[in-house]
Amino acid sequence: MAKVHRLVGNNFPDFNLDTSLGQPLRLDDLLGKWSVFFFYPKDDSPGCTVQSCRFRDDYSE
């Protein structure tokens, strides 16, 4: 059986970053909205690329 990461169920840490449009974004900006935080182990790997493209392709749903 897969191990459950020890941070599952904990609050997400606050952050400050720029969006792809160069606008600032903080965790508080997302309160009350559906959000997906997608982490992957390596850029340009076949599996991660397919999964990332599915987020993009299924966004409108």
Give the residue numbers spanning the domain of 46. 16-58
Report if residue 39 sits inside a domain: yes
pTM of the model: 0.53
Q: What is the mean pLDDT of each run of 10 residues along the chain (61 residues)?
A: 64 89 95 84 80 84 74
**Residue 22: its pLDDT value, please?**
95
**Residue 53: its pLDDT value, please?**
86
Report if residue 6 sits inside a domain: no
Report if residue 3 sits inside a domain: no
**Residue 50: its pLDDT value, please?**
84
Report if residue 46 sits inside a domain: yes
Q: Got the DSSP string for 12-55?
A: PPP-EEE-TTS-EEEGGGGTTS-------SSTT-HHHHHHHHHH
Report if residue 30 sits inside a domain: yes
* Catalytic (active-site) positions: 48
Report if residue 10 sits inside a domain: no
**Residue 44: its pLDDT value, please?**
80
The domain tally of the chain equals 1
